A and B are shown apart, each in its own frame.
Chain A
């Protein structure tokens, strides 16, 4: 029973996701686009989560810079890892949807372009984390880069928006109520999935840090341990 209780968030996420999937397939299809429009129920929530996860990363980065508490760095890293997955999902779903509807895989619409750039920003952030070995240095550099990126993202979005308005009129179709409800259900379900994934990832990170700390206390690797006095009498024998 305790196992069940500790997994309540995962169960909730699964149930919500299942409900959303069922609803996505049973609700009426879009009049103009047909069944392919149902991909919106994956694309839109994924995109929403991509940006939410990024927001969490930035918030946690700022919190780390302020408090220097490890848990904020763990949160920032976990959210970035989960976020990059949702970003990729959003882009993939968007591309599969765009092909039959627009005749091409990419539409250069501001939100899509910003999502694509967000993917690369995530990659850069995660690559930076991977490249730095020392945890304190890693946390600091990643936090700074995260915040710099955050300042730029709205500017990126707005500039693409203006660029679009220069070249073509933006098309924002209004969406019918039953479809809108399905969309909201999908967003809710995906948010639960995000929270469940985050919970697991944070738990894992916490355990990793604990293990490292325990390791560090007991058998710390001393920098100079591997260095011994050379055995000069053996030099010249078969060398």
Chain B
């Protein structure tokens, strides 16, 4: 699977993300229901809602890591029910609750692994760690790093991959002021390059977004 240069899967007329009555249930439990959501290029969108409302699951759905069990939609032009999702995955970065790093590898090694699998050169990994302020800690093993440092390393992943769709769960969790500002910068960068950034947060005031949607009871309500 060679890394092709990004070819736009979406035209100016289509949405980057379009969910049509998408739902997700696990056994008898409904997590998401009748979700209608459209996201366009250049947007930064906030995702708000109480605990258990389905925000994380919605992010995973947008990341194509889970398929909807009802309804459907497209992400980056790929039908969520088709195998096209494998094609568009390299253009998505999801930074979730738990750090997706290998504890026994250093921050630099984790980043180099990402660069390698993303088809980017190793230098990019080093630069990304510098940009997030971890150049001095690059050779520390992930298991010896604080939660905030791990979070920053994951933000470096967004810089390495340069996704079209950036999904951030608990966007500002565990980050100090400067790192928090970094989140906004990276999200803005993705939006400037014609992508979309989706940030989940419990703190509506902290979010620096163009618009927000609320997730309540597994459904999406558009807010201002």
Residues of A within 8 A of B (CB): 133-136, 212, 215-216, 220-227, 229
Contacts and interface: CB of A to CB of B under 8 A. Distances in A.
Contacts of B51: 224, 227
B69 interface: yes
A227 B52 contact: yes
Contact of B25 (A216, A225, A226): A216
Interface of B: 25-31, 33, 50-54, 57, 69, 217-218
Of the listed residues B29, B33, B54, B217, the one surrounded by the most CB atoms of chain A closer than 10 A to its CB is B29
Contacts of A136: 69
A34 B30 CA distance: 63
A221 B30 contact: yes
Contacts of A225: 52, 217
A16 B50 CA distance: 63
15 contacts: A133-B26, A133-B27, A134-B26, A220-B25, A220-B29, A222-B29, A222-B30, A223-B29, A223-B54, A224-B217, A224-B218, A225-B52, A226-B52, A227-B51, A227-B52
Nearest to B69: A136
Q: Determine the main DSSP class of A at the interface with B.
A: loop
Given A227-B50, A227-B51, A227-B52, A220 B69 contact: no
A25 B201 CA distance: 76
Contacts, number: 45
Contacts of A135: 27
Contacts of B50: 224, 227, 229
Contacts of B29: 220-223
A223 B30 CA distance: 6
A222 B217 contact: yes
Contacts of A224: 50-54, 217-218
B52 A223 contact: yes
A135 B31 CA distance: 15
B214 to A, nearest CB: 12
A221 B54 contact: no
Contacts of B217: 222, 224-225
A133 B29 CA distance: 11
A102 B85 CA distance: 61
